[in-house]
Structure 1
């Protein structure tokens, strides 16, 4: 890693060479740096992160912990890529932002000036002032430092309680289970991740958790974390009074945008850093993207806060184009269009993909659900007006991303999709095909 010199931008031969500083080296910051270099080969680019020396893939941390990957395998690029691209990497934390002066103060000392700044500071695990949440053995799971802490916390641990029923919670449960530590998931909803998943899919995930031998307490909430007498967690108590032994307590009850650096500035924030459709903040020459950004929406639409890997990459590339533009004038910079929603996850051995709009619990949306009678497989097709297909949930099956997106983009109707379902199947060659059964079942479910 080449250490960046703390210097101001310069002007050479009457051609202005701007200095762009990117705070954060996650998927958003790294994608922005690479795209900006493509667009502006003469600009100075500095990327700052106190977490890691090089950008890496956070979703891969679980596989490092359980021994399926090495840390170096998670890096987004070879180490030599960054100096070749003349992208300076600084391992430090920014602790103060003077937006009007375009200046950052760093934790290890020194100041850094910029012409344009990207806030890609990500998010941080939610904490709700639970008694005992600062005890040793209590932690979240977000980045590399949390992974190192988890290694330490596993020493001598036998049981764990994980608070929260989302993607990070189930990953943490699988990680601990791989070390012989028995985890119990504490979920306040009536089914796992039911604030996102419809009931059938949520219960399917619950069965996968039970089959793996992982504890699951539904409709249960944390009241306090109990000290074992040494300053370490020893147990938790639920609001119903149940006590569960736990030397590790994982706090995975969602994340919130990391606004630590902007809290003392005049940059406008609500849930996240408020940005327009070009991802520009209220401060001149400062942008925000990724988990920390909240995109303003016109009229009655709720502002957009997207905190998944895929949108982080998309916003990173878009914000680079916005930063590279010469003017705030209309049409000078691109506008962020998230397009069709997509996400994927893995609940232990159960794969899940979602495309388009599938509302949890239905919420005024008609949908058709097929489930295999004995296997952990399911498919939901959500409908909009006129039998147009609005979205898919695919569980325990693999479907082709490009086919599902094309059907949604083309506004295909239900009959067309059911007739062509086999085109989307991406399971191995000799796996049985269930699409004819799906189509018959779904057609039979219509009035």
Structure 2
């Protein structure tokens, strides 16, 4: 019987295992050094804040794995011999395979800062990082966070829940400035400041200094300022975890190089999720460190492994997150700076932290992307609108169809359309009544 071994038990690797089992009776083994059972990594902050327990973050009961004949092994893979198809674990144990999936995820970025490995300095990515944060927070009154990414936002909310003062060092001139346009960035910044966060923009970390007890005592910034602190959180992004692939002579770039079928250049070795770098014929190779795309990749790869060779097709780009009390969604592409040939309609509530931005082509008026903060949107509606080239006029007039907020939430479509009409007096729109959401969207709507 063929044997599939998967290194990594995050959403990508586990999705491969589950969907291969649906299609095949082959032997399946998942190896992870982090935890025995798969858990929701995005829920780490809620464990820390007391909203959940670890067992609540496991999507499947512990008996699920044996019931579905998916074997689990907790251990660290030290080496891969792709010629003999053998893995060597840190314990010295050898594991053979017929097909191998690398789902080794990401690692937090460190840039060689002096003092970056001092006690009291940490990242937040693994279950072990969560345990370390529990210990560090006991000794912390003031924390400095480096980098304005989503991991940093989570760390800030976690620390604030324990009454710990938080200061952010942000390289850009605004919060999340490499992702968000100025309007959204200002909204989130003000919201975070209301929650107690202090920002230092256009500021980078230069050095982390230790106190007499050997723990972190302050940071020195690129501006020369010294900020006293008891903890430093490194949240300056992540990069693919490719160490074990390199040991196995599996070709890598920034990530583990794969084609559109998630196949590496070594026969019967695949990579999926955060660690995979999808080679592109024209343009820059893609690395997609998102939960959603990792799951989609896992489903596509499972078909290939089970004998139905399937190309991974991402479809419309999307992402979501939460900034304290504000839900964020994005579909398509909304860049942080203006682009030639692309215009932007932006609406912001005058009193609440709620906004919407829609980008569209100047020539055809086709919508290219949307950002929403504080308004929950329907994925399938926006996916259809973007895939079918719907115009700004059509999208705004039918905006009610996309709203996914619960029944008693306020709705803002009338205000949004009114704002557009005020900004464009020669191009007045009228909000359409809510249609049945099951109605199909066709190319004909694009020029409506």
For normalisation by structure 2, the TM-score amounts to: 0.92
Match of 2:187 in 1: 204
Q: 1:148 aligns with which of 111, 114, 131?
A: 131
Match of 1:383 in 2: 360
Correspondence 1:311 to 2:287: no
Residues 47-126 of structure 1 aligned to structure 2 (within 5 Å) = 47-126=30-109
* 2:246 partner SS: coil
How many angstroms apart in 2 are the aligned matches of 1:363 and 1:289?
A: 32
* Superposed CA offset, 1:24-75 (max 9, x none): 00000111100010111x2000000010010000001000100001100101
Correspondence 1:130 to 2:113: yes
Q: Structure 2: any 5+ residue segments left out of the alignment?
A: 427-448
Q: 1:345 aligns with which of 314, 321, 330?
A: 321
How many angstroms apart in 2 are the aligned matches of 1:430 and 1:259?
A: 47
Report the alpha carbon displacement of residue 411 of structure 1 after superposing the two structures with TM: 1.8
* 1:386 partner SS: coil
The number of residue pairs the alignment matches comes to 423
How many angstroms apart in 2 are the aligned matches of 1:406 and 1:63?
A: 33
Residues 16-35 of structure 1 aligned to structure 2 (within 5 Å) = 17-35=1-19
Report the alpha carbon displacement of residue 303 of structure 1 after superposing the two structures with TM: 0.7
Q: 1:323 aligns with which of 305, 311, 323?
A: 305
Report the alpha carbon displacement of residue 265 of structure 1 after superposing the two structures with TM: 3.1
How many angstroms apart in 1 are the aligned matches of 2:376 and 2:143?
A: 32
How many angstroms apart in 1 are the aligned matches of 2:260 and 2:409?
A: 44
Judge conservation of contact 1:368–1:445 (CA < 8 Å) in 2.
no
- Between stretches 258-267 and 368-377, larger displacement belongs to 258-267
Match of 1:369 in 2: 346
How many angstroms apart in 1 are the aligned matches of 2:408 and 2:8?
A: 44
* 2:220 partner SS: strand
* Superposed CA offset, 1:104-162 (max 9, x none): 00112210010000000000000000000010010100010000011111122111001
How many angstroms apart in 2 are the aligned matches of 1:246 and 1:309?
A: 33
How many angstroms apart in 2 are the aligned matches of 1:158 and 1:316?
A: 42
- Between stretches 397-406 and 226-235, larger displacement belongs to 397-406
Correspondence 1:360 to 2:343: no
Correspondence 1:400 to 2:378: yes
* Superposed CA offset, 1:264-311 (max 9, x none): 332111110000011000111100010000001112x21111001100
Match of 2:250 in 1: 267
Judge conservation of contact 1:279–1:322 (CA < 8 Å) in 2.
no
Q: 1:226 aligns with which of 202, 209, 215?
A: 209
How many angstroms apart in 2 are the aligned matches of 1:265 and 1:43?
A: 24
Report the alpha carbon displacement of residue 406 of structure 1 after superposing the two structures with TM: 2.0
* 1:48 partner SS: strand
For normalisation by structure 1, the TM-score amounts to: 0.93
How many angstroms apart in 2 are the aligned matches of 1:392 and 1:47?
A: 38
Match of 2:21 in 1: 37
